[in-house]
Amino acid sequence: MSKLVYSFDEGKTQSKEILGGKGYNLAEMKSLGLPVPDGFTITTTACMNYLNEGEVVTPSLKEEIENAVKDFEERAKKAFNSEDSLLLVSVRSGAKFSMPGMMDTILNLGLNDKNVETLAEKTGDRRFAYDCYRRLLQMFGEVVYKIPMVAFNSYFDRYKEKHNYELDTDIPAEGLEHIVNYFKELYLSEAGKPFPQEPEVQLIESVEAVFKSWNNDRARVYRELNDIPHDIGTGVTVQEMVFGNSGEHSGTGVAFTRNPATGENKLYGEYLINAQGEDVVAGIRTPKEISTLKEKAKDLYDEFVDITKKLEAHYKDMQDIEFTIEDGKLFILQTRNGKRTAKAAVEIATDLVEEGLIKKEEAIMMIEPKSLDQLLHPSFNEKSLESAELITKAGLPASPGAASGKIVFSAEEAKHSAENGEKVILVRPETSPEDIEGMIAAEAIVTTHGGMTSHAAVVARGMGKCCVTGASDLKIDGETRTVTYPGGEIKEGQVISVDGATGKLYLGEVETTANEQSEAFTRLMNWAEEISDMAVRMNAETNDEITAGFDFGAVGIGLVRTEHMFFGEERLVQMRKFIIAETKEERVEALNKILAYQKEDFEKIFRQADDRPVIVRLLDPPLHEFLPQTEKETKEVAETLDITPEFLNRRIRELSEVNPMLGHRGCRLSITYPELTTMQTEAMIEALIKVKDDGIESNLEIMVPLISTFEEFKTLKDVIETRAKELIEASGQTVNYSIGTMIEIPRACFIADKIAKECDFFSFGTNDLTQLTFGFSRDDVGKFIGEYEEKGILENDPFQTIDEAVGELVKMTVEKARSVDPDYKLGVCGELGGDPRSIEFFNEIGMSYVSCSPFRVPGAILASAQSKVKQDV
């Protein structure tokens, strides 16, 4: 018959299957020579035997456990019920897979009416001893005898209330004694039997309770949901309790092997003498700096430092270590990879490489790509935040950063105030392309509607500008120019602070801390670029954005949205003339006036990009976005255009759509008005020729949006090629450009092979593709998507992380395109191009590149490198 109980020392020969995760880890620490509190593990086999054979502890198992306890007592030089050295233990479950829903822990097992006094004497803390006993009674009662926890808690709370004790720790020893007596009565009334006084009985009954908990409802449901087999059972770990409050030669503390805030390679932590963990948490006593332990107990300190080094070397990462000293003996209770700030993460990872502890590939894997964004933006000073008055936390952290300024309610005001040198926060129900200049002028943008992928969010991220969206408990009153929020009211011109990393808003100005790219950051990014085999481009239009994106390592521009090239005072007037025109001639005349501006825009972009590729998307939004929204504006615009407001209103009505997302936009507009595409082609090709004259070999990729049929693409390709050919021939220059399309409509995915034959490249527009695959409007989904995530109907927001079905569509498209040409150029320029989990998927299916807003480029490069490392494993 096989062995069913292993001491921690013996455990290193056994697998996680046999010992369970907890037992296995303790055996591992032991094998490293660490002074962990001793104990033993009962195997998962013992558990399954018990469950399969009538739930009886066989005499042989009982004997093995008793022997294990005996050996253990000898090693620990402690014993159950000993008056000199009282042995108390914890009992914990631990299956191969971590499983919430199963019984977790019973502490202080071994205490009884008699030896609780021994403990009190030994620790000199009667209150502590009775508190330990009180907890044992509660845990054992609930877990083993199924007495409802509420029965214990309600009495405990009533007792506090009656005696007017605020904190648990305010209850004196006598009070706890009283409570212990009541709890023992509860055993009789609720379970019909007394609390067992013999530690051996407590232990066996606890082990049985852990075994049984394997089959409780919550555990079964959890296993079903997570595809964990029902027949692998759980291990039971029995471990010695140690007490840091056993006198002046005892203590407890926590330490990080490096500084978790800065990453500095120096032991960082604190401890308390004659105390236990709880005391640190309660904050009643002030702990001491870890280095001062050296003076108190040099040997112990040296031993601890040795151990921290050993642990770092073993786990190859900064460790967060809990320790206790009992009577001058050091115990390591727990070690784990320590949490750290983004800055520290970068420093630690690069240092570990320098120190030869890890390889570059491993360093790459240690950084959360999303955290890099945080590194590149200013943030609020933690201290200042504590005293700041919160306006709301209902907003979404749409674009990171931190900024303060006076609130304004329109783009014009924002522009105007900024020109006067004032810092402003633009607060709007939502934003539209017309607000661009105001958004550029503002320090931060706040909207009361819209989600993480609303216009405001996408544009702000592009600009690297702080933005909070969907702050739904703010009400903007445009007439009185005030914002009301649950706790009060803010008037125009009042200063607020916006935290784009958390979505919170504060009253008044809050101090910020600038974040700069460290040397370690640069080193890390260089490694990531080396390792990654999928390119990262940026979605960018303005010259500042483009500069930032190239600085951050983008290898090209994956998306220039040309919408903004139709805004700006004179252009907008002409665009509106185009829209109200009745003949093609009038339309062309208006467009020709826009042409000169756009040619200049493109020239600047091409000069910045040099020979790096630039994808320019043709005009995408519906025409009504260029028309005025309010009656007042309509009147003004009509005056400018020299038409009646009635005529303009009619045109606005004609262009209004029930579902604009599914309406007359994208390539559909250009099919109706090919002159639009002709003009944009002229602007691009003429700019191309101009910069070529200066020796710049541009790499222009023209992109047609919203294709759903092959014929749409072919029609517009012909329009582009015809005009481009004329201009190039006339110039005598040789310039290069290619023509591709956006894949953002499900139908295009199905005919991708046909399109690919005529088309130079595809770029996936994952926003629209997700909208259409789900039938979710990004603008409206805010009403229920939160609820969907809460209720588990959606695991993730599919606009943030690629959905499985959208992924299938993308994969199918990739396969169809590559069936036409194995090297077909495929990229992603939708929002998901900046999401690490999505990037991993895109890399796996062989995407040529992803493209995202400039500030997300470093994270994307890192995610791409990580996905390569994973593939290579």
Q: Which residues are catalytic?
A: 455, 829
169 is in an annotated binding site: no
Q: Tell me how far apart the alpha carbons of residues 413 and 531 are, in angstroms, rounded to a whole number.
A: 47
Of 131, 320, 435, 712, the residue at the interface with a second copy (CB under 8 A) is: 712
Choose one: 638-646, 682-690, 695-703, 741-749; the region binding a second copy (CB under 8 A): 741-749
Query: Which H or E element spans position 86?
Result: none
Q: Is there a contact between 453 and 470 (Cβ–Cβ < 8 Å)?
A: no
Looking at the Cβ atoms of 597 and 788, the one nearer to a second copy is 788
**Does 672 interact with a second copy (rule: CB under 8 A)?**
yes
Looking at the Cβ atoms of 282 and 793, the one nearer to a second copy is 793
Residue type at position 465? K
> Which residue is associated with the tokens 């709007």?
428
What are the angstrom distances between the C-alpha of 214 and each of 103, 178, 206, 230, 765? 8, 35, 13, 9, 47
Choose one: 104-112, 179-187, 565-573, 783-791; the region binding a second copy (CB under 8 A): 783-791
Looking at the Cβ atoms of 807 and 836, the one nearer to a second copy is 807
Q: Tell me how far apart the alpha carbons of residues 214 and 237 are, in angstroms, rounded to a whole number.
A: 14
Of 660, 738, 800, 869, the residue at the interface with a second copy (CB under 8 A) is: 660
Q: Which among 826, 802, 823 has a CA at the least distance from the CA of 814?
A: 826
**Does 277 interact with a second copy (rule: CB under 8 A)?**
no
Choose one: 96-104, 215-223, 406-414, 806-814; the region binding a second copy (CB under 8 A): 806-814
**Does 237 interact with a second copy (rule: CB under 8 A)?**
no
481 is in an annotated binding site: no
Of 805, 819, 870, 871, the residue at the interface with a second copy (CB under 8 A) is: 805
| Smallest distance from a second copy to CB 776, Å | 6
Q: Is there a contact between 236 and 47 (Cβ–Cβ < 8 Å)?
A: yes
| Smallest distance from a second copy to CB 652, Å | 14
Strand duo 557-561 + 535-539: pairing: parallel
| Smallest distance from a second copy to CB 485, Å | 16
Query: Which one-letter DSSP state was computed for residue 542?
Result: S
Q: Please, which residues have CB within 8 angstroms of residue 181's CB and are 6 or more apart in sequence?
A: none
**Does 750 interact with a second copy (rule: CB under 8 A)?**
yes
Choose one: 263-271, 585-593, 740-748, 849-857; the region binding a second copy (CB under 8 A): 740-748
561 is in an annotated binding site: yes
Looking at the Cβ atoms of 25 and 771, the one nearer to a second copy is 771
Q: Tell me how far apart the alpha carbons of residues 724 and 689 are, in angstroms, rounded to a whole number.
A: 11
Of 328, 645, 663, 846, the residue at the interface with a second copy (CB under 8 A) is: 663
DSSP per-residue string spanning 552-565:
TT--SEEEEE-GGG
**Does 775 interact with a second copy (rule: CB under 8 A)?**
yes
Of 435, 625, 768, 835, the residue at the interface with a second copy (CB under 8 A) is: 768
Q: Please, which residues have CB within 8 angstroms of residue 223's CB and are 6 or more apart in sequence?
A: 99, 229, 230
Of 58, 484, 709, 731, the residue at the interface with a second copy (CB under 8 A) is: 709
Of 51, 751, 845, 869, the residue at the interface with a second copy (CB under 8 A) is: 751
DSSP, collapsed to helix, strand or coil, labels residue 850 as: strand
**Does 221 interact with a second copy (rule: CB under 8 A)?**
no
Q: Please, which residues have CB within 8 angstroms of residue 854's CB and are 6 or more apart in sequence?
A: 462, 464, 538, 540, 545, 546, 548, 549, 552, 554
Does residue 321 come out as left (phi exceeding 0), alpha (psi in the -120 to 50 range) or beta? beta
Looking at the Cβ atoms of 523 and 811, the one nearer to a second copy is 811
**Does 671 interact with a second copy (rule: CB under 8 A)?**
yes
Q: Which among 451, 455, 443, 454 has a CA at the least distance from the CA of 471?
A: 451
**Does 603 interact with a second copy (rule: CB under 8 A)?**
no
Looking at the Cβ atoms of 230 and 475, the one nearer to a second copy is 475
**Does 664 interact with a second copy (rule: CB under 8 A)?**
yes
768 is in an annotated binding site: yes
Of 291, 788, 800, 844, the residue at the interface with a second copy (CB under 8 A) is: 788
Q: Tell me how far apart the alpha carbons of residues 127 and 545 are, in angstroms, rounded to a whole number.
A: 63
Looking at the Cβ atoms of 327 and 430, the one nearer to a second copy is 430
Q: Tell me how far apart the alpha carbons of residues 273 and 579 are, in angstroms, rounded to a whole number.
A: 79
- Sheet with 105-109, strands from edge to edge, namely 5-7, 39-42, 234-240, 89-95, 105-109
> Which residue is associated with the tokens 């086999």?
45
**Does 787 interact with a second copy (rule: CB under 8 A)?**
yes
Of 661, 696, 820, 869, the residue at the interface with a second copy (CB under 8 A) is: 661
| Smallest distance from a second copy to CB 646, Å | 12
**Does 791 interact with a second copy (rule: CB under 8 A)?**
yes
Q: Could you give the residue ranges of the DSSP H alpha helices within 366-505? A: 369-376, 382-387, 411-419, 436-441, 455-463
**Does 793 interact with a second copy (rule: CB under 8 A)?**
yes
**Does 715 interact with a second copy (rule: CB under 8 A)?**
yes
166 is in an annotated binding site: no
| Smallest distance from a second copy to CB 430, Å | 9
Q: Is there a contact between 672 and 619 (Cβ–Cβ < 8 Å)?
A: no
DSSP per-residue string spanning 106-143:
EEEET--TTHHHHHHHHHT-HHHHHHHHHHHHHHHHHH
| Smallest distance from a second copy to CB 812, Å | 10
Q: Which among 775, 845, 854 has a CA at the least distance from the CA of 815?
A: 845
| Smallest distance from a second copy to CB 303, Å | 53
Which tokens sit at 750?
A: 């199905």
Angle formed by the axes of helices 569-580 and 631-641, nearest 10°: 80
Looking at the Cβ atoms of 321 and 785, the one nearer to a second copy is 785
**Does 76 interact with a second copy (rule: CB under 8 A)?**
no
Classify residue 35 by burial, with Cβ atoms within 10 Å: 0-12, 13-18, 19+: middle
Q: Please, which residues have CB within 8 angstroms of residue 133's CB and are 6 or more apart in sequence?
A: 108, 111, 116, 176, 180
112 is in an annotated binding site: no
**Does 780 interact with a second copy (rule: CB under 8 A)?**
yes
Looking at the Cβ atoms of 516 and 804, the one nearer to a second copy is 804
**Does 668 interact with a second copy (rule: CB under 8 A)?**
yes
| Smallest distance from a second copy to CB 106, Å | 36
767 is in an annotated binding site: yes
Q: Tell me how far apart the alpha carbons of residues 676 and 619 are, in angstroms, rounded to a whole number.
A: 8
| Smallest distance from a second copy to CB 310, Å | 47
| Smallest distance from a second copy to CB 227, Å | 14
End-to-end C-alpha distance for the chain, whole angstroms: 39
Choose one: 162-170, 303-311, 594-602, 767-775; the region binding a second copy (CB under 8 A): 767-775
Residues tagged in the binding site annotation for substrate: 561, 617, 744, 765-768
Residues tagged in the binding site annotation for Mg(2+): 744, 768
Residues tagged in the binding site annotation: 561, 617, 744, 765-768
Binding site for a second copy (CB under 8 A): 657-664, 668, 671-672, 706, 708-709, 711-712, 715, 744-747, 750-751, 768, 771-777, 779-781, 783-784, 787-788, 791-794, 803-806, 808-809
